């Protein structure tokens, strides 16, 4: 019985091959097979329906909206500055992880690790410069993005919440840049962070020289500057703290806020319209 059925289906396939050609039969059988269908849950024809299904049925592509307004992908509207900022964040994350393989966050090794990158590690200079220039570019791009959002009035309701999320992202980007500056443990970074953290003395309430600091009993040994440096001077503890904020704390905060930022763009009806 089973044999008859098998023979029957083989004869059927041979007949189909005779009628439609081997290529068409193989293509048809592949596209209708259970394995193919479990991976690709939509047809191949170029229709609005399959285009939409392609996007919403794929884990990665569904992060994009299935439909966008006609002006939204125009370079002259967004300058792609938000996208470029995000791209640079990804480049910095990847190159940053590679840099972590060669860097020890302590006063004895940090500077020589950077020199080692330049002279001993294959493509080390390229890796370091991708990270350094990427960081400079990200700071520039995020400012341009903010400027574009302002000029197109995209901060207005319903996008005012996303503007505030953006402000947090801007501050975090600047803090990433600032904490990274200390890590090479060179003169430039050392004095920049000395000056920068000295300003923290004047923080209202939390700095020992700031307004109302004395009301909370702030001294040079318990104020916000002390917390940032892990001491009263820029030294080994400050380097370690900068490293942990730079490599773990701040990237986690930025990633969380980026998820909210992108989700809000979708919820606010996609990229804003022309003025
Ligand atoms: C790490 C920093 C940031 C990243 C990666 C980022 C990314 C993006 C992306 C990809 C878009 C889509 C449209 C576009 O590319 O212009 C966007 C839109 C938007 N961003 Fe940002 N952004 C960042 C910081 C900011 C800042 C600093 C602000 C403002 C203070 C801001 C406010 C907004 C607003 C309001 C929108 C919606 C714009 C519209 O609908 O036209 N973002 N962001």
Does residue 166 have its Cβ closer than 6 Å to ligand 1? yes
Residue closest by Cα to atom 8 of ligand 1: 82
CA of 117: how far to CAs of 111, 180, 184, in Å? 10, 16, 11
Token duo for residue 241: 């703290």
DSSP 247: I
**Cα 166 to middle of ligand 1, angstroms:** 6
Contact 238, 230 (CB under 8 A): yes
DSSP 25: H
Does residue 271 have its Cβ closer than 6 Å to ligand 1? yes
pTM, two decimals, is: 0.87
Residue 254 CA, closest ligand 1 atom number: 1
**Cα 137 to middle of ligand 1, angstroms:** 16
- Can you give the pLDDT at residue 22? 94
Q: Is the peptide bond before 158 cis (omega within 30 degrees of 0)?
A: yes
Task: Indicate the average pLDDT of the chain.
Answer: 94
Sorted by where each begins, the domain ranges of the chain are 2-63, 77-267
Contact 131, 92 (CB under 8 A): yes
187-236 pLDDT per residue, tens:
999 999 999 999 999 999 999 999 999 999 999 999 999 999 999 999 99
168-188 pLDDT per residue, tens:
999 999 999 999 999 999 999
Sign of the dihedral through C-alpha 94, 123, 178, 139? negative
Alpha helix (H) ranges present in 62-200?
A: 75-78, 81-100, 110-119, 124-151, 160-182, 187-199
Element (H, E) at 122: none
Q: How far apart are the first and last CA of the chain?
A: 73
Residue 145 CA, closest ligand 1 atom number: 16
Token duo for residue 264: 């809000």
**Cα 139 to middle of ligand 1, angstroms:** 13
CATH architecture of 77-267: Up-down Bundle (1.20)
> 10 Å Cβ neighbour count for 146?
19
133-173 pLDDT per residue, tens:
999 999 999 999 999 999 999 999 999 999 999 999 999 99
- Can you give the pLDDT at residue 253? 98
| Least confident piece of the model among 17-21, 62-66, 253-257, 258-262 | 62-66
275 — pLDDT class (breaks 50, 70, 90): low
Sign of the dihedral through C-alpha 260, 249, 200, 196? negative
* Distance of alpha carbon 8 from alpha carbon 187, whole angstroms: 83
Q: Is the pLDDT of residue 249 over 70?
A: yes
């Amino acid at each position: 019985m089973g044999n008859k059925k098998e023979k029957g289906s083989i004869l059927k396939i041979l007949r189909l091959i005779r009628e439609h050609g081997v290529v068409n039969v193989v293509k048809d059988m592949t596209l209708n097979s259970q394995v193919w269908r479990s991976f690709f849950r939509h047809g191949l024809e170029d229709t609005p329906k399959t285009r939409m299904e392609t996007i919403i049925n794929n884990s990665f592509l569904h992060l994009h909206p299935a439909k966008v307004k006609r002006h939204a992908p125009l370079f002259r509207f967004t300058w792609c500055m938000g996208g470029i900022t995000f791209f640079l964040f990804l480049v910095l994350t990847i190159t940053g992880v590679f840099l972590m393989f060669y860097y020890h966050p302590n006063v004895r090794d940090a500077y020589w690790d950077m020199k080692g990158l330049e002279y001993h590690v294959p493509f080390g200079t390229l890796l370091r410069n991708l990270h350094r220039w990427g960081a400079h570019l990200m700071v520039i791009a995020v400012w341009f993005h903010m400027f574009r959002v302002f000029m197109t009035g995209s901060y207005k309701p319903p996008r005012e919440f996303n503007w505030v999320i953006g402000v947090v992202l801007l501050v975090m980007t600047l803090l990433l840049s600032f904490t990274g500056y200390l890590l090479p443990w060179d003169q430039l970074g050392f004095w920049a962070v000395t000056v920068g953290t000295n300003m923290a003395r004047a923080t209202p309430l939390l700095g020992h020289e700031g307004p109302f600091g004395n009301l909370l009993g702030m001294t040079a040994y318990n104020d916000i500057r002390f917390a940032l440096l892990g001491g009263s001077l820029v030294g080994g503890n400050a380097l370690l703290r900068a490293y942990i904020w730079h490599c773990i704390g701040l990237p986690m905060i930025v990633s969380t806020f980026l998820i909210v930022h992108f989700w809000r763009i979708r919820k606010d009806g996609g990229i804003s319209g022309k003025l």
